[in-house]
Amino acid sequence: MSGWKVTTEIAKRDLLDLWRAKMLLVFFILMPLLFMAMFGFIYPPTVQVNPYSGQIASQYPNLELAIVQQDTGQIARNVEAQFIQIAESQGIFRVNEMTDYSTARNGIVKGQVSGIVVIPQGFSAAIQADTQATVQVTVDQTNPSVAAAVQSEVAEIFGAIEGQMSTQYLQNFDPTVNPTFVLQPMAITSIPLIAGVPSSFEYLAPSFMALTVITGALNGVSTAISREKEQGTMDGLLVAPIPRQSVILGKIVAQTVRGLIQGFLILGLSMVLFGVVIYGSPITMLLVMVLGVASFIGVGIIVTSLAPEQETAQMMTTLLQFPMMFLSGILFPINQLPVAVQYIGKTFPLYYAADALRKVVILNASVSIIMPDLLVLLAYSVVTMAIAVPIFNRAMAR
């Protein structure tokens, strides 16, 4: 039987085997989706201002907020009313008026409110005297994510109110001056690359696709080979009159196919569950994923060929996966990390695969744009395969 036919037979058998392990299949899809959901819902940014409507969009809508009015003046009451109006009409906060600070503070401790705004005594008087008034904010510091959200949203709302106040003041002061010019000489308009406000899932979906496909390649081949050894079927393959390469090539093909199916399933489910929108071409995505898989299969083979039993092989691949996951820009962009650490991240093929996939999915990048990423993946594939296949063959022919 010719080499290619044998390779196909072995690949088909591997896939059949996988198909019959339905529990495993479900697990392989659900796990990444679960991770995505977890990370997607805690991911910053906490406040986004819609460039079209100027509306403030919150990652945590309708947070409970306490407002404590300590001033008796009219201005303070007006400001309070305006705050409440803006906050509630845009679904940012649900405002609870509280009588004093310590009640409000207990509210935070009990978890009833996420923050407190205090309009202190002397607020109206200060504004009346044309001097800067103070507003005090307290946030729930046990929850940094929410705390940051509250802080910035309160600032945004007061910013809007201040804008109105200043405009009013200027018009009273000198009706000929353009208040908009004084308050904001330059307006920054944003021209978005894509329509709509991107959610964190737009970042995560292609990242997780890349992650799943690549770790699948790493683990999959490793497991497939170990299982054959332990089941004794590896002997069955080696004693058959087939070319040695076909054994490993068949596994490579099977794992690649499996990886691609997984990747596309995740993408599909992201569209349905998390509302991710794809702007790029599926063919380009396919290309990136194939190269991503190819870059890692070699590593998987080398690890398994050298490890004495599956447990060790498994440990080694896990050891590789974790730093890779955190440093390759899967969960968050790595420019937040120290430069030295960024260099480490950039040695992983996963970084390039995720980067390329993101650009294709979100920005509709063409092949020529992602060519640098693709070339790195290609180089990895060629080098690791060139090392892996002989190592595997030599380990076979002991």
Q: Among 9, 64, 88, 162, indicate the residue that binds another protein (CB under 8 A).
A: 9
Question: Which of positions 357-396 make contact with another protein (CB under 8 A)?
Answer: 395-396
- Do the Cβ atoms of 114 and 150 come closer than 8 Å? yes
**For residues 185 and 296, what is the distance between their CA atoms, to the nearest angstrom?**
53
Q: Among 180, 233, 318, 347, indicate the residue that binds another protein (CB under 8 A).
A: 233
To the nearest whole angstrom, how small is the minimum distance from the Cβ of residue 394 to another protein? 10
Strands of the chain, DSSP E: 47-49, 56-58, 63-69, 93-98, 115-119, 136-139
Q: Does residue 236 belong to the site contacting another protein (CB under 8 A)? A: yes
Q: Does residue 23 belong to the site contacting another protein (CB under 8 A)? A: no
Q: Considering beta carbons, is residue 12 or 346 the nearer one to another protein?
A: 12
What residues pair up with 68 in beta bridges, in sequence order?
98, 118
Q: Considering beta carbons, is residue 100 or 309 the nearer one to another protein?
A: 309
To the nearest whole angstrom, how small is the minimum distance from the Cβ of residue 228 to another protein? 9
Contact range with another protein by CB under 8 A, out of 117-125, 177-185, 287-295, 302-310: 302-310
Q: Which residues contact 308 (CB under 8 A, 6 or more apart)?
A: none
To the nearest whole angstrom, how small is the minimum distance from the Cβ of residue 343 to another protein? 36
Q: Considering beta carbons, is residue 21 or 81 the nearer one to another protein?
A: 21
Q: Does residue 178 belong to the site contacting another protein (CB under 8 A)? A: no
Q: Does residue 54 belong to the site contacting another protein (CB under 8 A)? A: no
Phi, psi of 178, rounded to the nearest 5 degrees: -80, 110
To the nearest whole angstrom, how small is the minimum distance from the Cβ of residue 367 to another protein? 38
Contact range with another protein by CB under 8 A, out of 126-134, 200-208, 224-232, 371-379: 224-232
- Give the chain's radius of gyration (CA, Å): 29
Closest CA to 168 of 204, 114, 130, 125: 130
Contact range with another protein by CB under 8 A, out of 76-84, 152-160, 194-202, 231-239: 231-239
- Do the Cβ atoms of 223 and 301 come closer than 8 Å? no
Q: Considering beta carbons, is residue 207 or 304 the nearer one to another protein?
A: 304
What residues pair up with 48 in beta bridges, in sequence order?
57
- The string of DSSP codes covering 320-389 is HHHHHHHHTTSSS-GGGS-HHHHHHHTTSHHHHHHHHHHHHHHH---HHHHHHHHHHHHHHHHHHHHHHH
Q: Considering beta carbons, is residue 31 or 234 the nearer one to another protein?
A: 234
**Chain centroid to CA 9: how far?**
38
Q: Considering beta carbons, is residue 48 or 312 the nearer one to another protein?
A: 312
Q: Does residue 235 belong to the site contacting another protein (CB under 8 A)? A: yes
Q: Does residue 17 belong to the site contacting another protein (CB under 8 A)? A: yes
Q: Does residue 224 belong to the site contacting another protein (CB under 8 A)? A: no
**For residues 269 and 290, what is the distance between their CA atoms, to the nearest angstrom?**
20
To the nearest whole angstrom, how small is the minimum distance from the Cβ of residue 258 to another protein? 15
Residue 110, classed as helix, strand or coil, is helix
Please give the angle made by the CA atoms of 91, 92 and 95, to the nearest 5 degrees: 95
To the nearest whole angstrom, how small is the minimum distance from the Cβ of residue 18 to another protein? 9
To the nearest whole angstrom, how small is the minimum distance from the Cβ of residue 387 to another protein? 17
Neighbour-count burial of 393, counting CB atoms closer than 10 A to its CB (0-12 exposed, 13-18 middle, 19+ buried): middle
Q: Considering beta carbons, is residue 149 or 248 the nearer one to another protein?
A: 248
Task: Report how many residues bind another protein under the rule CB under 8 A.
Answer: 29
What residues pair up with 67 in beta bridges, in sequence order?
97, 117
Contact residues toward another protein (CB under 8 A) are 1, 6, 9, 13, 16-17, 20-21, 229-242, 305, 308-309, 395-398
